[in-house]
Each structure stands twice: as C-alpha cells, then as structure tokens.
Amino acid sequence: MAMTKNGIEDRVDVITIDGPSGSGKGTISRLLANSLGWHFLDSGALYRLVGLAATRHAIKFDDSTGLATLAAHLDVEFVSDDDGMGTNIFLEGEEVTNTIRSEECGNDASKVAAVQTVRNALFERQRAFLVTPGLIADGRDMGTVIFPDARLKIFLTASLEERASRRYKQLKQKGLSANLSALLEELSVRDERDRNRSSSPLVAAADAVTIDTSDMGIDEVVAKVSALWQQVSV
Ligand code: DC
C-alpha cells in the first residue's frame, strides 16, 4: 500500500487512467478493476449526470452557483452488474444508464466540467471512492488533481479518427443513433474545450506513462498497464 502524508484513506492504492474521449479509458479501467478486484470510478459519468440534472432542472450552464449547488447535492446511485463490467446509474431514482451516454450528454458534461465550482463540488465525492482494496480512477484530471499521490498514472491517447470510429461502434452497439462525421467534429470540439479550459484541463500528469492505443487491442493495453503496476507495486 502507498504511504502518503494524508492519513488512512491515502494508503489505499489507486491507478489513475486519464485521456480524451474514445481513448479506451472506460473499457480498460473496468477490465483492470475486475482483474485486480478493485473499485472503479467513472468520473465522466458524474459530469454527465450534472449536465443532465441541470437541463432537467432548467439550470443554465453559465450559472456557476446553481450548478455547484446541484453538483453538491446530486442524488445519484451507481449499482454494479453481477459481472462487474457494467454499472446501472440512477439519477433522482430514475435509471439513466443509457441516457447519459448520448453525445448530447457528453457535450453538456464537457460544458459543466469547465466550471470550477462544479469541479470543487465533485472533489470529495470522487475522493470517497478511494476505499480498500484499491481504486481504478477514470477521467481527465485523476492523476493531476483528484489523486495526485497515485503510484501509477496512465495517460491514454489515440488518433481523433480512431477515437471517433470507436465511439461510433459503441453507440451503434448500444442501439443509439450515430453519424461518423458528426462524431469527428463533436469529439474535436470537446477535446479543444477539455484541453484548453482553465480549470483542471485535460493534460498528462508530469509523472504519467502515456500509451497511444491507436494500434493496440484492448487486451494488449490491459496487459501493458498490469505489467506497469507489477513493476511499481513490488
Ligand atoms: O469520460 P466522459 O466522456 O464520460 O466525460 C464526459 C465529459 O466530462 C468530458 O468531455 C470532460 C468531462 N470530464 C472532466 O472534465 N473531468 C473528468 N475527470 C471526467 C470527465
């Protein structure tokens, strides 16, 4: 276990997996969490839920006070599937697992995620996922802001074209509508916003290992991260 300055919870191990949309973070993180028997934090889902709740409660994306209050009191529940590879997500008691995966929710998430008061409001909620035996934390600022003491930080990348094509296949598999050229455009706008915002921009931590997954299979990436963990955890 990692010993750090901040008390008991910080002694629990965490591997952070950051990167842009479609880099494979979600799938890789879940597989790693399963193979290690650790918990999984899908931080993007929290921002998607804030965006959805804001729309439903008619809170504007430039109302930083209203958004922060909403984020601080967000009534959400994450319920794992039996096989651990899926999570059913509830917002105010209603299941929104598929609803929040739409591109519209992704774009709204990216907008509310640029608001510092929202990020502050979600900070402790994300830290609370750090419980034994360990945590795989998936997001944009896991290694830079939320878990800066993590012993292993991964930054996953892939070309824009590859990421758009993966997202297209994912949406189709879920029975959601998708258009490849629109996805390319939306992903590049979202990347721009996530990378250039002043609050916790999408950037690799100085001590992160960057892996370009454009030409790698899922199993190959999982094996690579597992091997890196073996090296740092001995
Ligand atoms: O990983 P995702 O596509 O579900 O994330 C949706 C949006 O949320 C993404 O465009 C940026 C934002 N996000 C963030 O700013 N910080 C995180 N830790 C996770 C997601």
In a domain, 217, yes or no: yes
Count the domains in the chain. Answer: 1
Ligand 1: residue whose CA is nearest its atom 5 = 44
**Residues 60 and 66: beta-carbon distance below 8 Å:** yes
Please report whether residue 230 resides in a domain.
Answer: no
Mutate to test the pocket of ligand 1, among 140, 142, 167 (most ligand atoms within 8 A of CB): 140
How far, in Å, from the CA of 47 to the mean position of ligand 1?
A: 6
In a domain, 135, yes or no: yes
Q: What is the pLDDT of residue 219?
A: 96
- Domain assignment present for residue 233? The answer is no
Q: Stretch 36-46: mean pLDDT, rounded?
A: 96
Complete DSSP assignment for 60-122: -TT-HHHHHHHHHT--EEEEE-TTSS-EEEEETTEE-TTGGGSHHHHHHHHHHTT-HHHHHHH
Residue 111 is assigned to a structural domain of this protein? yes
pLDDT tens per residue, range 137-187: 999 999 999 999 999 999 999 999 999 999 899 888 888 788 999 999 999
- Please determine, for residue 5, whether its predicted confidence score (pLDDT) is greater than 70: no
Any domain includes 229: no
Q: Is 38 helix (H, G, I), strand (E, B) or coil?
A: coil
Q: How far is the CA of 48 from the centre of ligand 1 (A)?
A: 7
**Nearest-CA residue for atom 18 of ligand 1:** 139
How much is the average pLDDT of 216-230? Answer: 96
**Per-residue pLDDT tens for 49-64?**
999 999 999 999 999 9
In a domain, 38, yes or no: yes
* Maximum separation of any 2 CA atoms in the chain, in Å: 51
**Which pLDDT does position 80 carry in this prediction?**
83
Q: Which two three-digit tokens encode residue 109?
A: 């998430």
Residues 126-132: contacts with CB under 8 Å, at least 24 apart:
126/41, 126/43, 126/46, 127/9, 129/39, 129/41, 130/9, 130/10, 130/12, 130/14, 131/9, 131/12, 131/39, 132/12
CATH of the domain at 131: 3.40.50.300
Query: Is 137:17 a contact under the CB 8 Å cutoff?
Result: yes
Predicted pLDDT of residue 129? 95
Quote the percentage of the chain above a pLDDT of 90: 77
What is residue 184's three-state secondary structure? helix
Distance of CA 234 from the midpoint of ligand 1 (Å): 32
CB 64 within 8 A of CB 164: no
pTM value surpassing 0.85? yes
The answer to whether residue 59 is domain-embedded is: yes
Pocket of ligand 1 (CB under 6 A): 21, 43-44, 47-48, 106, 109-110, 113, 139-141, 190, 194
Which residues span the domain enclosing 114? 2-223
Question: Using N-to-C axis directions, what is the helix angle for 103-112 and 180-196, rounded to 10°?
Answer: 10
The answer to whether 199 and 147 are in contact (CB under 8 A) is no
CA of 219 to the centre of ligand 1 (A): 24
- Please state the atom number of ligand 1 nearest to the C-alpha of residue 114: 15
Residue showing tokens 């929290």: 46
**Strand, helix or coil for residue 212:** strand
